[in-house]
Structure 1
Amino acid sequence: MAFEIPDDLHPDARPLAWLLGTWHGSGRGEYPTIEAFSYEQDVAIAHDGRPFLHYFSQTWITGDDGERLRPGALETGFLRPAGDPPEGEGTAVELVLAHATGYAEIWYGVVDGPRLTLATDIIARTETAKEYTAGQRMYGLVEGHLMYAYDMAAEGQPMQSHLWGKLARA
């Protein structure tokens, strides 16, 4: 499926254009404090002509046969260009995310071609949310698929792999 950059995409958002669209796929998750799991995921990344992208992700925990067992994580936010990064390569970006599990995060990073890397700057959590202190995300466009990995430090554990997935443009 060919992808075209929309004519009305804000010029500042052009470095992020490769993320636009609806994506569907699956992934795996693990962490020392939980049982390993598989999930199905839908991601929608859209724009309205202003200098940001809207991001929405919904997941479902799946069984060994791929059948949906129950709803999983849900997050939404805004990805915005933030000028030039210190090292001078790519474009600096910021991501503001909110989660149904009681977190709000601010991430900073760099988009360089079809690769986006981000790290948390601020994590705010509600009184009922689990302890979570830091995260790192990497997204890349590989042979037409959106691949990603998410590492985190939480529940007294050091930074380590938590989620990874592969999504196709729907």
Structure 2
Amino acid sequence: MAANFMPPPATVHQAVQPLAFLLGTWRGQGEGRFPTISPFAYSEELNFSHSPNKTWKLNTNQPMHAESGYWRPQIDGTIEVVIAQSTGLAEVQKGTFDAEQRIVKLKSALVGNASKVKQITRVFKVGNEELSYVVEMATNLNDLQPHLEASLKKI
């Protein structure tokens, strides 16, 4: 256990316990790119709790999008994540988690209400008191490739 790691409260459901290292609010900056858009920088706040995750433009603080969803970890190390975005996109992602390595790997099983987006993957890692992630996306015009990546600090 890291020196600054606080054990989760006793009220955490036993199925969520292996992912307790994600609980809390994380804030930082990231970069986005894709062949059909100009690269951009953004600020982000991720809240693994009961409120939505949200992003806003780095230079103007203008809201970009928000996400809300449910993480359904299983005892065998598999996980299902359901995400609804303010853009109308809905995702069902399936993957694995490793509580010791503090990593979650997800791949879309379903991307709903999307005429262009065909696949999304997400990898979350926690280390050195920082949450980093990479989101890759494939569309009907582009193969799977990096779209978003960020490093967030717990606040």
Using the size of structure 2 for normalisation, the TM-score is 0.91
Instruction: Give the structure 2 partner of residue 117 of structure 1.
Output: 105
Equivalent residue letter for 1:166: S
CA distance in 2, matches of 1:163, 1:71: 16
Matches within 5 A, 1:122-137: 122-125=110-113, 130-137=115-122
Q: Which piece of structure 1 moves more, 143-152 or 3-12?
A: 3-12
1:11 corresponding residue in structure 2 = 14
Tell which deviates more after alignment, 149-158 or 159-168. 149-158
Alpha-carbon contact 1:138-1:148 (below 8 Å) kept: yes
Aligned structure 1 segments of 4 or more residues deviating by more than 6 angstroms = none
What is the rounded CA distance, in whole Å, between the counterparts of 1:19 and 1:94 in structure 2?
15
* CA distance in structure 2 between the aligned counterparts of 1:165 and 1:27, rounded to whole angstroms: 4
Deviations 1:79-112 (A, max 9, x none): 011342xxxxxx1000000011111110001110
Number of aligned residue pairs: give it: 150
Tell me the residue number matched to 2:42: 39
CA RMSD of aligned residues (A): 1.5
Kept in 2, the 8 Å contact 1:148–1:166? The answer is yes
Report the Cα distance in structure 1 between the residues aligned to 2:6 and 2:152, rounded to whole angstroms: 15
Partner of 1:146: 131
Give 1:146-165 correspondences, 5 Å limit: 146-165=131-150
| TM-score normalised by length of structure 1 | 0.83
Distance 2:127 2:32 in 1: 20
Structure 2 unaligned segments of length 5 or more: list them: none
**Which residue in 2 is equivalent to 1:169?**
154
Query: Would you say the 8 A contact 1:33–1:155 is kept in 2?
Result: no
Identity %: 31
